[in-house]
Amino acid sequence: MNKNILIKIIIAAVVILILGGVFYYWILFPNQKDSHKCLFNQGYSWCDFKNKCVKEGEEDCSLTQDWILSEAKKIIGLDLNVIPKETVKWNTREEEVAFSAKGIYYLDVLRAEKILKGFEDWDKFLNETGFEIDLYNPAVTDGKEMILNYTKGKIACVLSKVDNPNDTSSLSLFCGNPDDRLYNFKSDFGKGCNVDTDCGLIPDGCRKIIVCRSKNYEFYQDCANPTVKVSELDVDINSCECFDNQCVPKNEKFRSKN
């Protein structure tokens, strides 16, 4: 074979290999997908909890309350109502806290079969997802209600089945993060004062505070302990002021002794 022809063949082969490599690495390789159509060679993988592809180092694939509730709705097959915000009381090793949870619930006739089966299905689902019964929040089983408290990571879930006084039974599942607390006790509410500067709220990421709000007390000074947990959560308290020589929230509704 002519030497010049051989050289041309070799050069052509090298060019073809180079172009083929460029085509593979720049066109085909970057678009390789797994069974979920995630570009795995670019660092993406499927995240069940978020129902999408996520890239390692850019987005965390972690358990969320939205994923739990979404899966719970698929399992039970009932026409569920959604409650976007519910206060849940929760015990920790140090104290009792309150946090905001999102949930779903179903109402039916007293002790309906759908309620009982839904409770069992959700209990099984939470266990299979890796949730465990929280040691500081034991189960409640008194015949009329069954309440199970679970935790996994930073997510806490409360599963309950309750027989109501109006001959109905309710099934509910609420999940949230106990670290997102709705209150703190580091405030001057209820303390005696002379001017507004005597009253303050120490910020700790919370915008709500449990204070003495029982209807039996018209004013904070009437409370034996103005920061005791008596009845209900006060909402969106950012600051307090001095009123009748007592520190009260600026949006306090019960200021009159009349």
101-148 pLDDT per residue, tens: 999 999 999 989 999 999 999 999 999 989 999 999 999 998 899 999
Taking CA atoms, 156 is separated from 5, 29, 61, 106, 233, in Å, by: 75, 42, 17, 20, 20
Last residue of a domain, one of 149, 176, 203: 176
Residue type, 86: E
Residue 170 sits in the same domain as residue 215: no
Q: What is the pTM assigned to this prediction?
A: 0.60
Q: Are residues 122 and 165 in the same domain?
A: yes
Q: How many domains does the chain have?
A: 3
pLDDT: which is higher, 99 or 113: 113
Do both 19 and 79 map to the same domain? no
pLDDT tops 90 at residue 249: no
What pLDDT, on a 0 to 100 scale, did the predictor assign at position 6? 64
> What's the mean pLDDT in 33-52?
82
pLDDT class for 191, splitting at 50, 70, 90?
Answer: confident
Q: 222-228 long-range CB contacts below 8 Å, 24 or more apart?
A: 223/190, 225/190, 226/189, 226/190, 226/191, 227/185, 227/187, 227/189, 227/190
In a domain, 245, yes or no: yes
Residues 37 and 87 both lie in one domain: no
192 and 158 within one domain? no
Confirm if 247 and 190 have CB atoms less than 8 A apart: yes
Q: Which two tokens stand for residue 236?
A: 């969106």
More confident residue, 61 or 218: 61
In a domain, residue 207? The reply is yes
239 within domain boundaries: yes
* 60 inside domain: no
Q: How far apart are CA 110 and CA 161, in angstroms?
A: 11
Comparing 40-54, 85-99, 226-240, the range with the smallest average pLDDT is: 226-240
Q: Does residue 258 have a pLDDT over 50?
A: no
Calculated CA dihedral for residues 229, 179, 142, 83, nearest 10 degrees: 90
Beta carbons within 10 angstroms of residue 193's beta carbon: 20
Does residue 71 sit in the same domain as residue 170? yes
pLDDT given for residue 206 in this prediction = 45
CB atoms within 10 A of CB 165: 6
The token pair that represents 105 in the structure block: 């619930």
Residue 9 pLDDT? 65
Interval 94-105 mean pLDDT: 86
User: Domain limits at 75?
Assistant: 65-176
Q: Which of 13-17, 49-53, 73-77, 238-242 has the lowest mean pLDDT?
A: 13-17
Is the same domain home to 79 and 24? Answer: no
